[in-house]
Copies of this chain bind each other. A is one copy, B any other.
């Protein structure tokens, strides 16, 4: 019996709850009951894919005459069938329908998996009266199992009959797997040319790594965007959000992020306009907050961290940041509330062979503990208190300047092992 994510204490917190992503001044949270932007309907139903009987088929439809979209997918060499079908057969700039399921990833399923995906795409196209090339597919769940096509088809029909602007909560539930709390938002964005809506539903708890993209995320807006603007904004914002989040350094076969713009608000976002800037800021904050939520809901996570790495080479800061974020030793220390920064030295050193002796500076929650590669005096009790917080910040400075990156990551807990060792997922 899975917990109901909408009942989790976090569901009652403000959406912009992390100190790392303050809400922009022109963005207002509308609450989880506000419904989707104009031009969108969604539904989620239990179609019997999950043995638990929880919702597992979600359908989202844009009713606008000419929706505009953009999409990003996993960089895995073994992408799932829905990723291959969507990426290769769809008009990614004109998606109108999203058919998503949980309980089965339809990955490592070969030719049969592609055929199964195509069948559900066809069915969703008929159900939503759309061109199949406008139907994006997304699946999440266990790898290597064949998709139960009959169940999905029944789910499509049931979901079609329940499509509603308030269906985003049900849609969200249908895409969740081991998520403990809902990761979605309904925002109002004040632009110089008028007000627009921005919503997103997102899942992801394990198999999450700092490369694009690392989960399922669907974003809807009633703003009017050109395909080029949608592509540009989604690309930039994904790089600054999901691309910087790691639960366990594991890249999924199924990661997908799709944004659809209905244009129903009549507010047009012109390229290089103040509207574009403000809309981009809102989308950036939305996706960064969702990325941090994913990390906070990482399998077994009790505590999350941000590592910021500065230095002279972009490759070096990237390698160091990922090494820290994915180090099981650093993650276990984070879990234990242990200020063991020697493990950060270890991770950075391992990531940068050939640089010895490396003059690395390290600060934790603003307290410097290591300068030029060597320990310096600090107040241990203050440091111990700082690493007990829900969010912990590490800052690593490498020689040189000009490059900077960050990665958000979760701790390594007993619960992660329990979730991933004791049950087949």
A contact residues vs B (CB 8 Å cutoff) = 75-79, 84, 105, 107-113, 142-146, 206-207, 209, 211, 248-253, 327-329, 332-333, 335-336, 338, 340-343, 345-358, 360, 369-370, 372-375, 411-414, 416-418, 420-425
With A108-B342, A329-B248 known to touch, is A418 a contact of B424 (CB < 8 Å)?
Answer: no
A328 touches B249 (CB 8 A): yes
With A328-B420, A346-B143, A412-B417 known to touch, is A112 a contact of B356 (CB < 8 Å)?
Answer: no
A253 touches B345 (CB 8 A): yes
Contacts of A110 in B (CB 8 A): 372-375
Q: List 29 A-B contacts (CB under 8 A).
A: A75-B353, A76-B346, A76-B349, A76-B356, A77-B349, A77-B352, A77-B354, A78-B358, A107-B345, A108-B374, A111-B374, A142-B342, A143-B340, A143-B342, A143-B345, A144-B370, A211-B350, A249-B327, A250-B327, A250-B347, A250-B350, A251-B350, A253-B346, A328-B412, A328-B416, A335-B421, A336-B423, A412-B417, A416-B417
B144 touches A250 (CB 8 A): no
Per the bound structure, the CA–CA distance linking A375 and B109 in Å amounts to: 6
Per the bound structure, the CA–CA distance linking A336 and B416 in Å amounts to: 12
A253 touches B349 (CB 8 A): yes
Per the bound structure, the CA–CA distance linking A142 and B211 in Å amounts to: 32
With A111-B374, A414-B418, A421-B336 known to touch, is A351 a contact of B77 (CB < 8 Å)?
Answer: yes
B370 touches A108 (CB 8 A): yes
For residue A76, which residue of chain B has the nearest CB?
Answer: B349
For residue A338, which residue of chain B has the nearest CB?
Answer: B424
Contacts of A207 in B (CB 8 A): 329, 346
A75 touches B354 (CB 8 A): yes
Q: Which of A142, A211, A340, A423 has the most CB of B within 10 A?
A: A340
For residue A247, which residue of chain B has the nearest CB?
Answer: B328
Per the bound structure, the CA–CA distance linking A249 and B351 in Å amounts to: 11
Closest chain-B Cβ to A368's Cβ sits at a distance in Å of 13
A420 touches B250 (CB 8 A): no
